[in-house]
């Protein structure tokens, strides 16, 4: 396959060398005469393990050339990768000047080229950049996206020092696209690369690199804070984290990584607080660990704000315990939401088949009575009575009996805290706490008639 890569820096040079090693013909494009001359003489533009060998082999085989001529590169390739830098501004924003300049050059070249062309964004960019690149190419080429060209997002996940290995042995290849022809061509380009080939929404693909790298940074800082606490206690921190990583069911796993409501229960709040206190007692600063509780409280506040914004007085809470299948109310996050709503004058009805007030004892009873002393006035054992008497339904766990709510009770306002449905076709207003709209029904967009205003609180 014939490809061009704009930007012969770290990402571009590695991509050029690896693609050539896979048998593709690569044209490297850069504004720097020095980088172009290096590649033309068979030498890489960066220092990286194995890169010299691959660039020389590509040069010798004639599969790698370099130019400063953007028009030549586009004319003689079917896919153009954008791999130029996106440096930070003083304010922390990304500078997309290089990206947009290259988009303009590609557009000008496409104006004179026949045939369908694919532009693949390899640079790390925020959601929305792909769309703007397409607009620039349309403006400069006079051609139409998805008719004459398309723009896909293909973020890289390379580590310096192992970039060649990472490129040729990735955990996955990610393509954000809205054009089937482009997907097929990109799949063919990467057919010899192991790992899952994932096609997703363009904006999802654009977001992934930031999520990955921020989480990697979080892991490093979390490990360091744990290490600092362990050092103060004369505990082997490396042994602690070695054992921590052996748990692939919870610790190193997809578990807990679904956006949703706040955590609760008897363990997470208690034990994280104990660790924070332990660190404080030994004068160890742990800002990341300390911020966990604050972030959790913010998610509770977000839930309250969502419900209040609906402007309807009658609210049904579906689920009171901290998760489905239990009657444990200790530190249940929805209890704090209920407490806040009662304080704001809402008329609440609560249903949880697992919570029987007459059977609540011990610390479970002490906790709930301290939060909501008159709980018996709000809890019902009849789901239909709660739902029928409420304008807003707040779904707090994934009990099976809640599955058919949209079908059985059309027109209600649903606030979903747990992603109880992946998609709904529902004649009513739906909102999830940490995800966009999944309601495909047009009635979702009808204005909600409010019977109370925020000024009443």
- The reply to whether 67 and 139 lie within a common domain is yes
- The reply to whether 335 and 228 lie within a common domain is no
What is the DSSP-derived secondary structure letter of residue 236?
A: -
Is 25 part of any domain? yes
Number of domains comprising the chain: 3
Is 159 part of any domain? yes
Task: Kindly report the three-state secondary structure assignment for every residue of 402-418.
Answer: HCCHHHHCCCCEEEECC
- The reply to whether 360 and 228 lie within a common domain is no
- The reply to whether 32 and 146 lie within a common domain is yes
- The reply to whether 232 and 374 lie within a common domain is no
The residue segments making up the domain with residue 350 are 298-456
Q: What do you get for the CA distance between the two ends of the chain, in Å?
A: 65
Tens digits of per-residue pLDDT, 36-93?
A: 999 999 999 999 999 999 999 999 999 999 999 999 999 999 999 999 998 888 777 8
Tens digits of per-residue pLDDT, 95-153?
A: 899 999 999 999 999 999 999 999 999 999 999 999 999 999 999 999 999 999 999 99
Where b means 16+ CB within 10 Å and e means fewer, 314-349 reads: ebbbbbbbbbbeeebbbbbbbbbbbebbeeeebbbb
Rg (CA), the chain: 28
Is 275 part of any domain? no
- The reply to whether 167 and 248 lie within a common domain is no
Is 290 part of any domain? no
pTM given for the model: 0.87
Contacts of 180 (CB under 8 A, 6+ apart): none
For the sheet containing 347-351, what is the strand order?
379-380, 347-351, 314-318, 392-395, 413-416, 430-432
Tens digits of per-residue pLDDT, 142-189?
A: 999 999 999 999 999 999 999 999 999 999 999 999 999 999 999 999
User: Two tokens at 185?
Assistant: 């061509």
Is the pLDDT assigned to residue 456 strictly greater than 70? no
Question: What percentage of the chain exceeds 90 in pLDDT?
Answer: 81
The arithmetic mean of pLDDT across residues 423-429, rounded, is 92
Q: Does residue 123 contact residue 91 with C-beta atoms inside 8 Å?
A: no
Is 15 part of any domain? yes
Active site (catalytic) residues:
267
Tens digits of per-residue pLDDT, 339-386?
A: 999 999 999 999 988 777 656 666 667 777 777 777 778 888 899 999
């Amino acid at each position: 396959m014939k490809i061009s890569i704009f930007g012969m820096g770290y990402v571009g040079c590695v991509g050029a060398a690896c693609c050539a090693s896979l048998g593709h013909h690569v044209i490297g494009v850069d504004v720097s005469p020095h980088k172009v001359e290096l590649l033309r003489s068979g030498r890489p533009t960066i220092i990286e393990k194995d890169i010299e060998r691959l660039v020389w082999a590509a040069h010798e085989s004639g599969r790698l050339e370099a130019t400063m001529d953007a028009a030549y590169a586009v004319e003689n390739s079917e896919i153009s990768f954008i791999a130029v830098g996106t440096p930070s501004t003083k304010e922390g924003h990304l500078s997309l000047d290089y990206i947009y300049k290259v988009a303009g050059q590609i557009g000008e070249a496409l104006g004179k080229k026949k045939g369908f062309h694919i532009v693949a964004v390899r640079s790390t960019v925020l959601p929305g950049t792909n769309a703007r690149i397409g607009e620039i190419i349309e403006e400069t080429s006079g051609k139409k996206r998805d008719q004459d060209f398309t723009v896909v997002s293909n973020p890289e996940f390379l580590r310096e020092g192992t970039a060649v290995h990472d490129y040729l042995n990735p955990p996955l290849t990610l393509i954000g696209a809205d054009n089937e022809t482009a997907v097929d061509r990109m799949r063919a380009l990467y057919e010899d690369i192991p790992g899952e080939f994932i096609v997703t929404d363009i904006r999802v693909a654009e977001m992934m690199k930031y999520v990955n790298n921020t989480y990697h940074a979080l892991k490093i800082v979390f490990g360091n804070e744990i290490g600092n606490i362990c050092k103060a206690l004369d505990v082997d921190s490396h042994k602690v984290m070695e054992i921590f990583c052996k748990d692939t069911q919870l610790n190193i796993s997809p578990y807990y990584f679904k956006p949703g409501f706040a955590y609760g229960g008897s363990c997470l709040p208690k034990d994280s607080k104990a660790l924070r206190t332990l660190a404080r007692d030994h004068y160890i600063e742990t800002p990341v660990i300390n911020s966990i509780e604050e972030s959790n409280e913010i998610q509770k506040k977000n839930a309250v704000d969502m419900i209040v914004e609906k402007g309807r007085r009658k609210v049904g809470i579906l689920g009171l315990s901290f998760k489905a299948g239990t009657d444990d109310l200790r530190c249940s996050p929805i209890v704090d939401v209920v407490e806040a709503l009662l304080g704001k004058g809402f008329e609440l009805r609560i249903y949880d088949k697992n919570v029987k007030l007459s059977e609540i004892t011990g610390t479970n009873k002490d906790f709930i009575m301290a939060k909501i002393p008159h709980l018996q006035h709000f809890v019902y054992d009849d789901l239909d009575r709660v739902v029928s008497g409420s304008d807003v339904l707040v779904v707090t766990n994934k009990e099976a009996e809640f599955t058919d709510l949209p079908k059985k009770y059309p027109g209600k306002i649903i606030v979903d805290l747990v992603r109880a449905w992946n998609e709904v076709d529902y004649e009513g207003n739906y909102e999830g706490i940490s995800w966009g709209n999944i309601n495909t029904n047009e009635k979702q967009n009808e204005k909600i008639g409010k019977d109370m205003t925020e000024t009443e609180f």
